[in-house]
């Protein structure tokens, strides 16, 4: 199309809400107002065509935004999430193809449906160019009103369903975060109770047995009290082990870096797998992030012990101002690609969910016979955020 100098009574600013009266039945309004309106972007350099499209789509009851150039369309695509974009092909300056390509190249709008509108005089070959830059449909002008409205309505409904899915995912993620937080609080509470209450009782029993030993002369009784004393010592160690498993004091008292180093040493003692840890200087991290990274690290070590058949693992923890990164590499049998998505991968899913709660990610890669690499990356919130 060509640029027109007309200034019709339509809203032609870079962003405008539709103000065309909608002669809908009164009983239809509550249904339209029952759910949020979707946003539709109309891009056309001709004022008459732009206004005609607005009037045509007004009956859908959605929010219509307009742009008269590709540049204005790009600005709006940066600020809004659109259910669908109606894009004129022939515009001065940046044409529809270039505009669509740039819209598709941006993360926020890369999945937004684009319907190209063009005059019948256009070459049919331009349709292929339109589909190549990401168009979902290609309509000739003058458009058939019912056809255009039905197509736009389909994309509006798809947009709403996607929004509901995203809301459900957000709610599930918030619920998961709450459940993880509650579980960690319960673990910490139980660990304290076991350590303090049961530990004190066992210490008292040990003192009573010691008192009794000093007053016995019979060898058989002395031997029995000595056996009891050793059993109490063993039970105390078991209690400490259980309490530490529930919530390591090291994590709360010394911080994440010290806790990772301690857990690595304990892992080597328990499994015999050689462990090398490269750790940064200790620094204070957010309590919940420290807990998430430590729990992910524990799950990684559990998977190594159970499945890898490794003889060595290398651990590296790095912290910058922006990100906290953990990498664990073993020299075991590796993990096939299929197992990453199989039913046995719930541990991997749990690690990924913990990281996602903080906007992070967990990546797992492995080659059969050449070991497995697990990388964890979590952004560190800036002070005040």
Q: 315 near 327, Cβ under 8 Å?
A: yes
Instruction: Specify the pLDDT at position 36.
Output: 77
Cα angle value 225/226/228 (rounded, 5°): 60
- Which single residue is written with the structure tokens 């462990």? 275
Instruction: Specify the pLDDT at position 129.
Output: 67
- How many Cα atoms are found within 13 Å in the side-chain-facing hemisphere of 166? 6
The residues with which 224 forms a beta bridge, in sequence order, are none
Cα angle value 271/355/182 (rounded, 5°): 85
Instruction: Specify the pLDDT at position 128.
Output: 63
Helices H, strands E: what count in the chain? 12, 10
- CA dihedral over 239, 245, 249, 254, signed as positive or negative: positive
Whether residue 142 is preceded by a cis peptide bond, meaning omega within 30 degrees of 0, is yes
Nearest CA among 310, 288, 303 for reference residue 346? 303
Query: Exposed, middle or buried by CB within 10 Å (0-12, 13-18, 19+), for 185?
Result: exposed
Total Cβ atoms within 10 A of residue 104:
16
Q: Compute the chain's Rg from CA coordinates.
A: 33
- Which single residue is written with the structure tokens 């911080």? 255
Total Cβ atoms within 10 A of residue 114:
25
Instruction: Specify the pLDDT at position 384.
Output: 57
Query: What is the pTM assigned to this prediction?
Result: 0.56
| 3-state secondary structure (DSSP) of residue 232 | helix
Q: At what angle do helices 145-193 and 219-246 cross, to 10 degrees?
A: 160
Q: Tokens standing for 212? A: 């009794």
Question: How far apart, in Å, do the first and last CA atoms of the chain sit?
Answer: 48
Instruction: Specify the pLDDT at position 30.
Output: 45
- Which single residue is written with the structure tokens 């990274």? 293
CA distances from 136 to 95, 116, 244 (A): 17, 8, 57
Q: Tokens standing for 239? A: 């209690």
Q: Tokens standing for 75? A: 């600005």
Q: What is the pLDDT of residues 54-78, one digit of tens each?
A: 888 988 889 999 998 888 888 898 8
Q: Tokens standing for 213? A: 């030993």
Sort residue 371 into left (φ over 0), alpha (ψ -120 to 50) or beta. Answer: left
Instruction: Specify the pLDDT at position 314.
Output: 95
In angstroms, rounded to a whole number, what is the distance separating the alpha carbons of residues 243 and 249?
9
| 3-state secondary structure (DSSP) of residue 71 | helix
Q: Which residues of the chain have pLDDT under 50?
A: 1-33, 343
């Amino acid at each position: 199309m060509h640029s027109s100098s007309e200034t019709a009574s339509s809203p032609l600013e870079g962003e405008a809400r539709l103000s065309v009266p909608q002669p809908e039945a009164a009983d239809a309004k509550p249904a339209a107002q029952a759910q949020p309106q979707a946003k539709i972007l109309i891009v056309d350099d001709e004022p008459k065509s732009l206004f005609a499209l607005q009037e045509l789509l007004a009956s859908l009851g959605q929010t219509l935004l307009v742009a008269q150039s590709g540049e204005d369309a790009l600005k709006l695509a940066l600020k809004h999430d659109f259910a669908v974009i109606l894009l004129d092909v022939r515009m001065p300056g940046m044409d529809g193809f270039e505009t669509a390509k740039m819209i598709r190249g941006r993360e926020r709008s890369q999945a937004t449906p684009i319907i190209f509108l063009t005059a019948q005089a256009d070459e049919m070959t331009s349709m292929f160019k339109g589909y190549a830059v990401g168009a979902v449909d290609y309509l000739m002008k003058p458009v058939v009103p019912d056809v255009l409205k039905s197509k736009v309505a389909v994309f509006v409904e798809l947009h709403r369903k996607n929004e509901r899915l995203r809301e459900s995912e957000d709610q599930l993620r918030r619920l998961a975060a709450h459940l993880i937080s509650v579980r960690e609080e319960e673990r910490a509470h139980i660990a304290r109770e076991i350590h303090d209450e049961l530990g004190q009782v066992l210490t008292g029993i040990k003192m009573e047995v010691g008192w009794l030993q000093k007053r016995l002369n019979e060898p058989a009784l002395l031997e029995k009290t000595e056996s009891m004393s050793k059993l109490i010592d063993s039970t105390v160690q078991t209690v400490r082990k259980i309490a530490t498993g529930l919530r390591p004091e090291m994590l709360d008292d010394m911080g994440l870096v010290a806790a990772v180093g301690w857990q690595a040493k304990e892992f080597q003692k328990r499994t015999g797998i050689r462990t090398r840890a490269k750790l940064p200087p200790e620094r204070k991290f957010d309590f919940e992030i420290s807990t998430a990274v430590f729990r992910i690290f524990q799950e990684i070590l559990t998977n190594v012990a159970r499945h890898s058949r490794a003889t060595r693992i290398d651990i590296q923890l790095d912290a910058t101002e922006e990100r906290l990164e953990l990498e664990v590499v073993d020299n075991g049998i590796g993990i096939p690609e299929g197992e990453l998505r199989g039913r046995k991968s719930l541990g991997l899913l749990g690690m990924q969910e913990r990281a996602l709660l903080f906007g992070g990610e967990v990546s797992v890669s492995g080659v059969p016979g050449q070991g497995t690499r697990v990388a964890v990356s979590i952004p560190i919130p800036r002070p005040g955020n």
